Structure 1
Amino acid sequence: MTVRIENQTCFFITKNGEEIRFCADVTIITDPEKSMSMVELDGHRIYITEAEADALTVAGAVDGRRHLKATDSDSVI
């Protein structure tokens, strides 16, 4: 897991150590190219699982995710 949540505080594990934020100050967004949820901290993208995104929203993070839909006619969606 790249995210740990304690008492509405988020701890993000990065290659440079740990970034700490209040969950209310975090916005979860969607990277449309990778179809993944992520947060941006100091200009760096941290990709997270949907379970982590859901846990962050429960702890008070802003849910800015967009639902993407397939536009390719070969899609099974």
Structure 2
Amino acid sequence: MPISIKNQTCHFDSLPGSPQRPASELTIITDPDKAMSAVEINGDRVYITEAEAEALTVAGATDGRKHLKATDSGSAI
């Protein structure tokens, strides 16, 4: 798990220096090319599971995911 959450603060263990951010500063996005959820930190994109995305939203992150359909242009589904 590249992300750990404690007291609404997210730790990104998979990035150099393990940056920390309050969940309220994060927006979860959908990468349509990979059909995965991600969070951008310091210009790096961290891909996360749907369980991690849900945990981040519970901690206060903004849910900016777009649910892709097979008929959407650019959809990998």
What is the rounded CA distance, in whole Å, between the counterparts of 2:54 and 2:15 in structure 1?
23
Which residue is equivalent to 2:66?
A: 66
Question: Would you tell me which structure has more strand in proportion to its own residues?
Answer: 1
Over aligned residue pairs, what C-alpha RMSD do you find? 1.6
Moved more, 10-19 or 61-70: 10-19
CA contact (8 A) 2:39 2:47 kept: yes
What is the rounded CA distance, in whole Å, between the counterparts of 2:19 and 2:35 in structure 1?
24
Q: How many residues align?
A: 73
Which residue is equivalent to 1:28?
A: 28
Unaligned runs of 5+ in 2: none
TM-score for the superposition, normalised by structure 1: 0.88
Counterpart AA for 2:11:
F
